């Protein structure tokens, strides 16, 4: 069973202890946070650095399809694109993972076998998380049994917003135990948490419960990943490693569509958490449309001409 790092074992001993710990975290200066995120977003990078950033961003993508109309054929096509994003240039990096619903995990696993691209599966009654714990755990078991290397779970936002923090913590612990060797990404749905202080508290709950990644959003609500909420989560993982020695990844998801957006987020990573997080093992983009823009910008850098959307596949 996963356990909280010893340095924080007292913080999770009871509901009241966890509440005291979470409300003892420093308050977030919203104006300062947004100003810093905006300032870092204005950094300019040279052509050689841009080429490096584009390849790094491609390698960090969890190429995602989470639609009711998903079919095995669509998942296989997405897997082929993840392995070989640009058939005209075999030097193009592979994406980090393909993210699908649990019932498509076996299809993705078969299509990606031997490629090095991971299979990620959402679980725990994604995206609402409105199910009993035994149903959520069964969802995780099914996904892992089908070949998922990574599980993206959603927290119970209703429990969090009503102050039942220990329930949220214990659910993450239980899901982590069901994951076995699969890595766990914990989704907060930051757009529903209302305040930056809540995002900071949720980040610490996830980290204390053994998350391998903390993730902004499902991509299913109006407000998803933003530079400010991602910066806040990067500060959290930086501080957590400083206090425990445990490194945890960050995954902004939803709304990141352009190369310019991706580069801004990479600058945030470098300037906040540091170079150790500039690796697909520790930072991911949850995206579906981002890859095509990265490929078009990559082609422009190599040929000097903007190729346009007709030169990349339509997902």
Catalytic residue ranges? 152, 215, 251
**CA of 148: how far to CAs of 18, 24, 101, 108, 181, in Å?**
32, 37, 10, 9, 10
Contact (CB, 8 A) for 35 and 232: no
The single residue listed with the structure tokens 């939803």 is 254
In the DSSP assignment, the letter for residue 94 is: P
* Residues listed for the chain: 315
3-class SS shares of the chain: helix, strand, coil, % to 5: 50, 10, 35
- The full 3-state SS of 201-230, as one line of letters, equals HHHHHHHHCCCCEEECCCCCCCCCCCHHHH
Q: Which of 89, 90, 83, 87 is CA-nearest to residue 110? A: 83
Q: Which of 128, 142, 217, 237 is CA-nearest to residue 180? A: 142
Q: Which of 286, 289, 214 is CA-nearest to residue 253? A: 286
């Amino acid at each position: 069973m996963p356990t909280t790092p010893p340095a924080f074992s007292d913080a999770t001993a009871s509901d009241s202890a966890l509440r005291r710990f979470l409300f003892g975290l420093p308050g977030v200066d919203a104006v300062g946070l947004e100003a810093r995120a905006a300032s870092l977003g204005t950094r300019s990078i040279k052509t050689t650095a841009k080429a490096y950033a584009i390849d790094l961003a491609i390698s960090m993508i969890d190429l995602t399809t989470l639609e009711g109309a998903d079919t095995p054929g669509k998942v296989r096509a997405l897997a082929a694109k993840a392995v070989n994003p640009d058939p005209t240039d075999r030097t193009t990096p592979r994406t980090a993972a393909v993210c699908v619903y649990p019932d498509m995990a076996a299809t993705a696993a078969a299509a990606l076998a031997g490629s090095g691209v991971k299979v990620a599966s959402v679980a725990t009654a994604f995206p609402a998380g409105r199910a009993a714990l035994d149903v959520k755990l069964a969802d995780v078991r099914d996904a892992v049994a089908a070949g998922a290397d990574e599980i993206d779970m959603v927290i119970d936002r209703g429990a969090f917003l009503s102050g039942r923090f220990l329930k949220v913590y214990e659910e993450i612990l239980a899901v982590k135990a069901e994951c076995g060797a699969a890595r766990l990404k914990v989704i907060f749905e930051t757009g529903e948490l209302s305040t930056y202080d809540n995002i900071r508290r949720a980040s610490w709950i996830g980290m204390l419960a053994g998350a391998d990644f903390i993730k902004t959003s499902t991509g299913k609500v109006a407000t998803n990943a933003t530079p400010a909420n991602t910066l806040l989560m990067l500060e959290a993982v930086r501080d957590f490693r400083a206090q425990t020695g445990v490194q945890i990844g960050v995954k902004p998801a939803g709304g990141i569509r352009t190369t310019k957006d991706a580069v801004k987020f990479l600058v945030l990573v470098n300037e906040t958490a540091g170079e150790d997080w500039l690796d697909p093992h520790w930072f991911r983009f949850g995206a579906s449309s981002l890859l095509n823009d990265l490929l078009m910008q990559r082609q422009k850098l190599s040929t000097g001409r903007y190729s346009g959307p007709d030169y990349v596949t339509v997902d």
